[in-house]
A and B are shown apart, each in its own frame.
Chain A
Amino acid sequence: MIYIQIFIAFFIPSIVGYGGGPASIPLIEHEVVSRYDWVTTSEFSEILALANTLPGPIATKMAGYIGFDVGGVLGAVIAEFATIAPSLILMIVLLQLIFKYKDSPKVKRLSKIVVPTVAILMAGLTYDFIKTSYTSNGIVQTIIIAVVSLLLLEKWKVHPAFVIVGGLAYGALFLG
């Protein structure tokens, strides 16, 4: 039954992939290339390259496309469900529980204690983005784009949508 296979192929990477969508990509590859033989390694890398180019979460784009390729619209829906639902249900249950006891001092401390760790996590992501930009755009372009977007976002309070669209235009003209 192909739909059960699709479910398993995306359920396992999602439930094992700690660290968000990108962390589950090698796990998805293991399922769809090595185990089920739905796509070849080079097809997989093509799909991944396009998923990386387009905006939005990567794991769901991979699941949607490969699911559709293997099992049509229903295949895509099942692959998405397997990717999204298990961890989301866990998340909703846990957060509802926390929210229910939100006035208890322990739960208040819980909120407070994660803030520094979240800050470090975000600092790590910031570093990753800047490093990626340094690798692909070079130091001069990275500084120009970073400084201009910092001024636009923080000083002149331009909505991020416009800044990103501006960045896309700049990239097409000067980084292509």
Chain B
Amino acid sequence: MDQVNEPVFTPMNYTYMKKGDEIVKLQRDLFIGFFRSGLLGFGGGPSAIPLVHKEVVGTFKWMNDQEFSDILALANTLPGPIATKMAGYIGYRLGGILGMINAILATVLPTILMMLVLLTSFNQFKDNPRVQGMTSAVVPIVGVMMGTLTWEFLKKSKNGWGWKKGLLLLGGSFIVMELLHVHPGIVVGVLLIAALVFPDKKEKLEIKMKEKSESL
């Protein structure tokens, strides 16, 4: 996507929030962004990730890919639903406590209300073949969106690490998570600790080794 090369955005300098009408605008945008991604994410929280990315990095340009990836990585490491952690944190960082509550409500409230109305009124609805057809038609679309986001992150891996190390890290992550079925939370946790603990000059290869030995 074209917004990859946007200048690094630092939310702490988000001074325009100072003016009253712009607080209103920010809160409104937060609501719209998370309302859309909550309402369009069929198949649970994870399917909302590319949609949240589209709103936060694309439409509203609140942060860049790098920051989004940090937030997503940590959201994956910690327990609990991912979509609300993303919404809560992004809302909090942009608009404080109000922004946090706003983004979470926008994510969860519309669908909870739908759920209550549908379960208490007409329960037959979910067995309707048309409704099932609608839900299953959205799955490959979300798959494609996830795929393009994956492609972006593969490119970023290559740009950040170069071919050799990039492939090594990708391959290592693949083996550890997909073949050895080590939980992603543990893998990300080990990598984060490794990045903080290792002295600055050491080669990243050792970090990789650490991750592998941890998984055995």
Contact = CB atoms under 8 A, between A and B. Distances in A.
B141 A149 contact: yes
A47 B45 contact: no
Interface stretch (B13-21, B22-30, B78-86): B78-86
Contact of B153 (A65, A92, A119, A171): A119
A35 to B, nearest CB: 19
A153 B44 contact: no
Contact of B39 (A55, A119, A173): A55
B195 interface: yes
Interface residues of A, number: 91
B98 to A, nearest CB: 14
Interface string A137-176: 1000110011001100110000011011001111111111
Contact of B76 (A17, A46, A121, A141): A121
Nearest to B199: A106
Contacts, number: 348
Given A83-B80, A119-B157, A164-B141, A110 B196 contact: yes
Nearest to B165: A116
A145 B84 CA distance: 28
Contact of A91 (B42, B85, B169): B85
A74 interface: no
Contacts of B73: 114, 117-118
Contacts of A46: 119, 123
Contacts of B192: 110, 113-114
* SS class, residues of chain A in contact with chain B: helix
B115 A116 contact: no
A153 B146 CA distance: 12
Nearest to B110: A56
Contacts of A119: 150, 153-154, 156-157, 170, 173
Nearest to B158: A116
Nearest to A120: B173
Interface of B: 12, 36, 38-51, 54, 66-67, 69-76, 78-85, 88-89, 92-93, 100, 104, 107-108, 110-112, 114-116, 118-119, 123, 125-126, 128-150, 153-154, 156-157, 160-161, 166, 169-170, 172-174, 177-178, 183-185, 187-188, 191-192, 194-196, 200, 204, 207
29 contacts: A14-B81, A16-B79, A20-B44, A20-B83, A21-B44, A21-B80, A51-B115, A52-B43, A54-B42, A54-B115, A56-B111, A57-B108, A91-B75, A92-B89, A92-B100, A99-B12, A116-B166, A118-B72, A118-B76, A121-B173, A126-B146, A126-B147, A130-B147, A145-B137, A146-B141, A167-B141, A171-B130, A171-B133, A174-B137
Give 3 closest A-B pairs by Cβ, nearest first: A171-B137, A87-B80, A56-B111
